[in-house]
Structure 1
Amino acid sequence: MVRRVSLSLLVAVVVPAAVFYGVFALAGVWTAIAAALAWSYGAIVWRALTRRRTSGLLVLTAVLLTGRTALSVIADSTWLYFLQPVISDGVVALLFLLSLASARPMVARLAGDFYPMDHELAMRPRVRRLFRNLTALWAALGLAKAGMTLWLLQSQTLETFILVKSISVLAINVLAAFATIGLAALVARKEGLMGSTRPASLPVPVPVEVSA
């Protein structure tokens, strides 16, 4: 479980953020934007060529980066590039909140990207309650990140903004992901799944934050 979540975070979140900041320090913001986008599509192509499953998080990262890059190039505005995560975080948080009114909240829809789960296990009361609680948690987290990013963008220089945002958002995402693993493991123990021959833990979502 930890390996799968860590790999998804590494490919879709950590590496693009590191590539962006490294290239930004060496060659400027536009080159960094292009490098982060190239990494995301390169990772998708590599997984396709090696016949590995591409996670929904990686695809979503590539789509969001493409939209951000296109709008920024059209408007010739790097400020717009960094403003868009505020909007996307808010939209994603809203989608998570709205999904709570459905039979399958957003976390339940994303669970398959991180761990296989059969229908019987997914329908257990404790598991369904976990999915709803985690969906509410990630919705609140998205709204908090959007607010923090907007404040940094308006109050800091571009160099300070990129550094502080990259570190703080990554730290928040990683801590939240592993806190979620802990909650999932707690439910798994209560359900008697630990050490059994079926999936030992519940699937864990990660935030749909594009860190570049």
Structure 2
Amino acid sequence: MASPPHRPSLAAVIHRVSLSLLIAVVIPAVVFYAFFVLAGVWTAIVAALVWSYGAIAWRAVTRRRASGLLILAAILLTGRTALSAVADSTWLYFLQPVISDGVVAALFLLSLASTRPLVARLAGDFYPMDQELASRPRVRRLFWHLTALWAVLGLAKATLTLWLLQSQSLETFVLVKSIAMLAINVVAAFATIGLAARVARKEGLLGSPHPVVVAATRA
């Protein structure tokens, strides 16, 4: 008789999401700003990139899978750094998030037309997924709504970044953008958790075995 799959508690999911955000978003932003103040913009750019790849390497050495969020952040940061270095332009480095946020938002929007929106592809980093669970109507609607939410968020972040870059000094831009983007990402992440937790409770997924498997084992 197969044992029912483990379903993590809400606290475990929040811990996993928080850790992923800390490693992929919060710490690189703090590292960048600290080195920006202490040693200048190019040192800050390199330091943030080194942190991202160091985090991926550490996960590999300790035989833990790097989250999709961390890998995506590292890829975007690599592109920003390479283009800025080739053009020898720090202004281009700060402009690129406008483009990358817009591109990511467009990918989220385009994925809404597929059977697996982007949030569905990333969900396995934070909660154990299988085909049966991913195909449930409530879960599919959740993935669609969350993908739309993050697409709109990406467009909003791109717009805000462009406005700040055009209207503020570099020092003010870096400080305000770091705080604003971090706050937006954290609020959006926990809004995502809240919406997901609501659906998970209705589906009986938080901290309890899979209901279909339980029924089968009791038969």
TM-score norm. by structure 1 comes to 0.91
Match of 2:142 among 130, 144, 150: 130
Q: Tell me if 1:43 matches 2:55.
A: yes
**Structure 1 match to 2:158:** 146
SS at match of 1:173: helix
Aligned to 1:58: 70
Give distance in 2, aligned partners of 1:178 and 1:156.
Answer: 29
SS in 1 for 2:58: helix
1:198 deviation in Å?
A: 3.9
1:109 pairs with 2:121: yes
User: Per-residue CA shift, 1:10-64, capped at 9, x if unaligned?
Assistant: 0000000000000100000000001001101111111111111111111111111
SS at match of 1:59: helix
| Equivalent pair of 2:101/2:155 in contact (CA under 8 Å) | yes
Give the distance between the partners of 1:42 and 1:152, measured in 2 at CA. Answer: 30
In 2, distance between residues paired with 1:178 and 1:124? 23
The equivalent residue for 1:180 is 192
CA–CA distance in 2 between the matches of 1:121 and 1:26?
49
Q: Do the aligned residues in 1 keep the contact of 2:105 with 2:154 (CA within 8 Å)?
A: yes
- Which residue is 1:161 aligned to? 173
Counterpart residue identity of residue 189, structure 1: R
Stretches of 4+ moved more than 3 A in 1?
A: none
For 1:140 and 1:47, the matched residues in 2 are separated by 31
Give the count of matched residue pairs.
199
Distance 2:21 2:132 in 1: 28
Deviations 1:70-111 (A, max 9, x none): 111111100000000000000010011111111111110111
Where structure 2 has 5 or more consecutive residues not aligned to the other structure, the ranges are 1-12, 212-219
Consecutive unaligned residues of structure 1, counting only runs of 5 or more, are 200-212
TM-score (structure 2 length as normaliser): 0.88
Partner letter of residue 171 of structure 2?
E
Alignment counterpart, residue 84 of structure 1, candidates 90, 96, 100:
96
Q: 1:95 aligns to what?
A: 107
